[in-house]
Each structure stands twice: as structure tokens, then as C-alpha cells.
Amino acid sequence: MEQRRIVAAVDGSNFSEKVMKKAIEYAKMLEAEIVLIYCHRKYPKILGQPHRDHIITAINDESADTVKPYLDMLSEAGVPYVERLLETPAGAAIAETAESEKCELIVMGSRGLSSLQGLIVGSTTNRVLHLAHCPVLVVK
């Protein structure tokens, strides 16, 4: 029997800690592995060396700093996990990763770091809801 998998999509927003707690709860219930997804900003394409390498290093360092608290939560909870640091756009990347990793569930926040205050459901969440091939649990 294959290992059951759950996606936990985090972005460093206030919702991300709630997402991790809920994903850990479901992972324990289902004896599942968590696929932690963090989508960082795109690497620059048109920038000369060594500036491009410095920016890529900074993006990777920011990503590592952002996901560290969530990796610590997973380790403390004793839940198996794999980490996926991906480039944006997050909506498509989360749905595609969930499908390719054969995940049974995606857990994500209802809103993220976007400054758009008028949206009831964030644009990334909305995109995942439309693209995902598995159930999506939206944490508020």
C-alpha cells in the first residue's frame, strides 16, 4: 500500500501556522506524510552575473527562513514530511504538485500574504479550488 500524502501549503502569513496545525492533525489521523509546499518569487531571468546569483541565494535563504518554523512543527509532531520549494504562480504549482505526488488532500489558508482586502477567498486559494484533483481543506 502506498504512503498516504497531504499537501500543506504555507506562505508565511498568519494562516500558515493554522494550516500546519490542521495538516498535522489530519496526517496523524490518516497516518499520512505531509508534502510541505512553499512557493517563492520567481528567479530573475534577465540579470547579469554575479547579481543574478546573489538574488537567487537571497530568495533561497528567505524561503528556508520562511519554512523553518513549519518544519520544526512537523519534526516536533513526529509527522513524516517532504519539502517542496517552488517558484510562483502558487495556485497552479500547488494543484500540480498535489496531483503528481498523488496527494489525497490539500490544506491551505483562506487568504495569504496578498494585500487585497476585498477578497473573501484569496486568489491563490480560489485557483487551487478550481484546479485541484483532490479535496481542498481551506483553513480560516
Q: Report helix angle 51-77 to 14-30, nearest 10.
A: 50
In this structure, whether the domain defined by 5-139 belongs to CATH 3.40.50.620 is answered with yes
Which of residues 88 and 123 earns the better pLDDT score?
123
Q: Residue 44 CB: number of other CB atoms within 10 A?
A: 12
What are 6-43's pLDDT values in tens digits?
999 999 988 899 999 999 999 999 999 999 999 999 99
Alpha helices in the chain (DSSP H): 14-30, 51-77, 90-100, 123-131
First CA to last CA distance, the chain: 33
**pLDDT over 50 at 115, yes or no:** no
Phi, psi of 87 (to 5 degrees): -80, 155
- Can you read off the three cell numbers belonging to residue 129? 479550488
Unique residue bearing C-alpha cell 500524502: 5
| pLDDT of 50 strictly over 80 | yes
- For residue 117, is pLDDT > 60? no
Q: Give the separation between CA 16 and CA 90, rounded to whole angstroms.
A: 14
Tell me: pLDDT of 137 over 70: yes
Say which amino acid occupies 120: I
The predicted model scores a pTM of 0.89
What is the average pLDDT score of the chain?
90
